[in-house]
Amino acid sequence: MRKMRTFIAVNIPVEIKQALQEEIDRLRALIRGESVRWVRSEGIHLTLKFLGEISNSSLGEIHQTLEREAEKHPPGTLRVGGFGCFPNRHKPRVLWIGITEDKGTLALVQSSIHEKLIPLGFEKEGRPFHPHLTLGRLRRNVSKSELSQLQDVVNEFVVGQIGQFEVREIRLIESILKPSGAEYSTLGEYTLGSKGDG
């Protein structure tokens, strides 16, 4: 039985990815050494839930659940901007750009999907949903001087609003890990608000 490493996400428009790449380049120029593993901008997604490894046999139920939940919620507009780190700027493990929205549609979609997937055997999230787009992750075994320099950079780094886009669908995506980095394949697309459209 084939196992697939999967997650649920919103696709990011090309022009937003280009703007994210500019911010990655700007950060990369400021941070010395190889302390950060940068993501490839073409692979950036807005992850709603990481499912981990699933089998072919569970795909049908997941498809039905996502279709049902997506159609309950209308499309929404997301604004991209603002820079931050997880867990915080003093201990920067993940560097990201934020996502904000006025109507909270995305949070509602994420919450409802999350609840409906628990009976299918997926774990309850231990932390609140914080929509973000990851730019890079701190490598292990970073020296104290590299960490100190990185902290100086992230404390000063500012990102304004770099764009906005409308979310009309969510996707189930397979992540195929390769030596050159992850490759992504869409397993399903689910249109938001399809129940109320006609």
Residues annotated as part of the active site: 45, 132
Within 13 Å of residue 178, how many CA atoms lie on the same side as its CB? 8
At 59 the three-state DSSP class reads: helix
User: Which residues are 115's β-sheet partners?
Assistant: none
- Alpha carbon distance 94, 139 (integer Å): 10
Q: Give the C-alpha separation, 39 to 24, whole Å.
A: 9
Structure tokens at 126: 């231990």
Q: By three-state DSSP, how is residue 109 classified?
A: helix
Do the beta carbons of residue 139 and residue 93 sit within 8 Å?
A: no
Residues 6+ apart with CB under 8 A from 155: 89
For CA atoms 86, 92, 93, 98, the dihedral sign is positive
CA 52 to chain centre: 14
